[in-house]
Amino acid sequence: MRMILIIGGFLLLCCLGFFIYISTRETEEHLATDPVSMVIPIEKDHVLEMDQTTNDELIQLASPRPGQSISSPLIVQGKARGSWFFEASFPVVLIDWDGKIIAHSIAQAKGDWMTTEFVPFETTLTFTVDKDVYSDAGTLILRKDNPSGLPEHDDALEIPIVFARD
């Protein structure tokens, strides 16, 4: 009887180890085929390619365009579905190459935001770029407002930009 328990425990541990191995392997394969997932901590975040300005039809950016050279003050304009807003606003963050936040603001709806339709928004970011930063590249992040704080409701649109050097 004792031998049966030992063998059963060993088989249970082997099955558990195999399951963990398969789970880890699938995650590694996904990261190898989708390098964006390695960079973005929230799976629902979207990084725009140079010719994109939309996020699954939830938010559309009019300006700035991906890859555009920007300077301060930066006017950010576009339209987003009402679900992107909370109390007619959502946060906008500008980060430099090093990931340092150099500006943040709140985008305001320019119409009735309690709808499933697109609502125009606008905000202005004032910033100063460190002259010693390694690269002129940066990212403009438009975050879906998530008052619940639940990760399953997080979403963001990340726009690659270039800082204009004066």
81 is a domain residue = yes
Amino acid at 48: L
15 is a domain residue = yes
> Residue 2's pLDDT is what?
76
Of the chain, the end-to-end C-alpha distance in Å amounts to: 81
20 lies in the same domain as 81: no
Provide the sign of the torsion angle of the four alpha carbons 78, 165, 99, 48, taken in this order: positive
> Residue 25's pLDDT is what?
56
> Residue 131's pLDDT is what?
82
Count of residues for the chain?
166
Average pLDDT in the 22-27 region?
A: 55
* pTM for the full predicted model: 0.65
pLDDT at position 43 over 50 = no
Q: Read off the pLDDT band of 38 (50, 70, 90).
A: very low
The boundaries of the domain holding residue 21 are 2-33
Nearest-CA neighbor of 86 among 131, 121, 41? 121
106 lies in the same domain as 127: yes
* Residue 43 CB partners (closer than 8 Å, separation 6+): 37
